[in-house]
Amino acid sequence: MTAPHEFSALDQYRLLQRGELGVVELTQHYLDRIGARDGELGAFFTVTAERALERARHVEMHVPRSTRLWGMPFADKDLWRREGVRTTFGSRAFANFVPEASDELPGVLDEAGGISLGKTATPEFGMTSHSETLLAPPARNPWNLDLGPGGSSGGAAAAVSAGLLPFAPGSDGGGSIRIPAAACGLVGIKPSRGRVPALSGIDALGGLPVAGPIARSVVDAAFLLDGMIGRRGSVIDDHFALRAPSEDDGDFLGFAIRGEGRFQIGVCVDSPWSSSHELVIDPEITAVLADTVALLSALDHGIEEVGLEPAPEYGSAFTTVWQAGAAQIRIESGAPIEAEADADADGDVEPLTRWLRRRGRELTAVQLAQALAELSRFERRTIDRFSGFDAVLTPTLALLPRPIGWYDAADPERNFAQQVEYSPFSSYVNAAGLPAITLPVGTSSDSLPIGMQLIGRPGGESVLLSIARQLERRLRWEEKHPPIWS
């Protein structure tokens, strides 16, 4: 008999809708898998089993089946508060913090009928491309437990890849959805700025962080994305006059299921970080990129190489904005995670966080204004450069998944540089506010997944889903699973 986790997320939802699978039954199934496997994986910081089962009973009896995620288990990334549930932000400074109110995104997922099973692992304040923290043992990659799953949504990706969740929401300020999705053989979507109102990027410094889905397939990722967007009736619950461009407000699931169209695709291996860092792409990733180009060509898409305009100030500008964002973090227990910078002690934070915060506090208003202006200019140049293409293909990562302990824990500047070397193709998509999707398209000689990234036009998620689904139909990667799956 097929176990529930072996079905796609959408098929699980359909089974729930038909009454062939119970909401409590599905919730218990995933809780059992977490209990049996997460000890070696470290994907969760907190599991809320009793609360999840109580919620499942409530959903089954009282929540309309028409809600978009009715009865579907997920988990909150531990950067988001959930009322009454320990929320650590990946930091020892908040090891025992229990918020009295929830952040908006967990509420949107609840309104969609979802059931949170707990909190997934994340590095301290989500500031890194790995998921190692002094708070807890590191999250591990299901494909090889000696390797990391990437970050900062590393726990979420590890859980989905290992079949401990059907899908999971993540957040992405510089690659934090796409990096772990690629490392763990998953699909991850970084939506356009403004697409998901609950975490839109519009009200954030530099417009960088947005929320998006991590899933085992393109269809499942679109399914969760629709649930994350949030609607009042049929109208998207936008919070700002500025919003993501879109041809319509229809569901993305339809585009992913159909997977139709022929498009003009650019191929780019440039990174704006190359002006400030020595970047090397692993030859195995380069080979998979070539295979992907050949497959796209065989699918009758137009293919053309494209490069980025030189951006010698990008690295400095992005680093300045990242440091300024860290400077806003309050360490006083129970204080808001985003608030006016204070002079509290740095004793409980890790070296990288301490370095980022102190550098951020040394910045002048003029320096920050100049950095923000540079990122804005970069956004305009990049959108113009890519305007002749429906999508642009890049590697998701420059290197294969990194071993646990590879990142320098003592030297924060070296740690930051290593993050750039690992993932030089992700942060500039955030700076430009563009949508992007990563999906697994190949494997290394050690059977590790290799992902490729498609970057879209502003508001172009539907095209990305269509192209990605065409690739997925040929590759059938969603049928492959890591050793820990069984």
Tell me if 68 sits within 8 A of 111, measured CB to CB: no
Supply the pLDDT for residue 330. Answer: 86
Provide DSSP, 175-217: STTHHHHHHTT-EEEEPPTTSSGGG-STTSGGG--EEEEEESS
**Mean per-residue pLDDT, 224-252:** 86
pTM over 0.75: yes
Among all chains, which residue has been given the structure tokens 């190489």? 305
Q: What is the mean pLDDT of the chain?
A: 95
Specify the pLDDT at position 448. 98
Instruction: Give the span between the Cα atoms of 452 and 267, in whole angstroms.
Output: 11
**102, 152, 423, 466: which one is catalytic?**
152
pLDDT above 50 for 302: yes
Contacts of the segment 348-352: beta carbons below 8 A, 24+ positions apart? 348/91, 348/92, 348/93, 349/91, 349/92, 349/93, 349/124, 350/91, 350/124, 350/133, 350/134, 350/409, 351/409, 351/410, 351/411, 351/412, 351/415, 352/124, 352/127, 352/128, 352/412, 352/415, 352/416
Could you tell me what percent of the chain has a pLDDT over 90?
92
pLDDT, tens digit, 9 for 90 and up, residues 315-326: 999 999 999 999
Please determine, for residue 249, whether its predicted confidence score (pLDDT) is greater than 90: no
Residue 246 a catalytic site member: no
Closest Cα to residue 167, out of 109, 125, 124, 208? 109
Q: What is the pLDDT of residue 247?
A: 64
Least confident of 51-60, 104-113, 246-255: 246-255
* 67 pLDDT more than 50: yes
Structure tokens at 235: 């109208």
Q: Is 316 a catalytic residue?
A: no
Whether 452 has a pLDDT exceeding 90, the answer reads yes
Cα separation, 167 vs 485, whole angstroms: 15
* Stretch 84-105: mean pLDDT: 97
Indicate if the pLDDT at residue 149 is higher than 90: yes
Q: What is the mean pLDDT of residues 92-104?
A: 97
User: What is the dihedral sign for C-alpha 200, 204, 208, 212?
Assistant: negative
Give the confidence band of 231 by pLDDT, cuts at 50, 70, 90.
confident
190 among known catalytic residues: no
Tens of pLDDT, residues 391-421: 999 999 999 999 999 999 999 999 999 999 9
CA distance to 41, 112, 230, 231, 243, per residue, from 108 (Å): 28, 6, 6, 9, 18
Q: What pLDDT score does 466 carry? A: 98
Given the residues 77, 161, 271, 426, select the one marked as catalytic. Answer: 77
Is the predicted pLDDT of residue 340 greater than 70, yes or no?
A: no
> Whole-angstrom Cα distance, residue 97 to residue 82?
11
pLDDT at 444 over 90: yes
Can you give the pLDDT at residue 246? 77
User: What is the model's pLDDT at position 339?
Assistant: 43
Mean pLDDT of 2-25: 98
- pLDDT for res 342: 42
For the segment 375-389, the average pLDDT, to the nearest whole number, is: 98
Give the pLDDT confidence score for residue 332 in this predicted structure: 64
Predicted local distance difference test score (pLDDT) of residue 62:
98
- Cα 359 to Cα 89, 127, 314, 324: the distances in Å are 21, 14, 17, 8
| Residue 161 reports pLDDT greater than 60 | yes
| Residue 467: predicted pLDDT | 98
Find the range with the poorest average confidence among 126-135, 327-336, 453-462: 327-336
Residue 335 has pLDDT above 60, yes or no: no
CA distances from 250 to 116, 159, 460 (A): 26, 29, 13
Instruction: Determine which one of 91, 161, 176, 217 is catalytic.
Output: 176
Q: Is the pLDDT of residue 333 over 60?
A: no
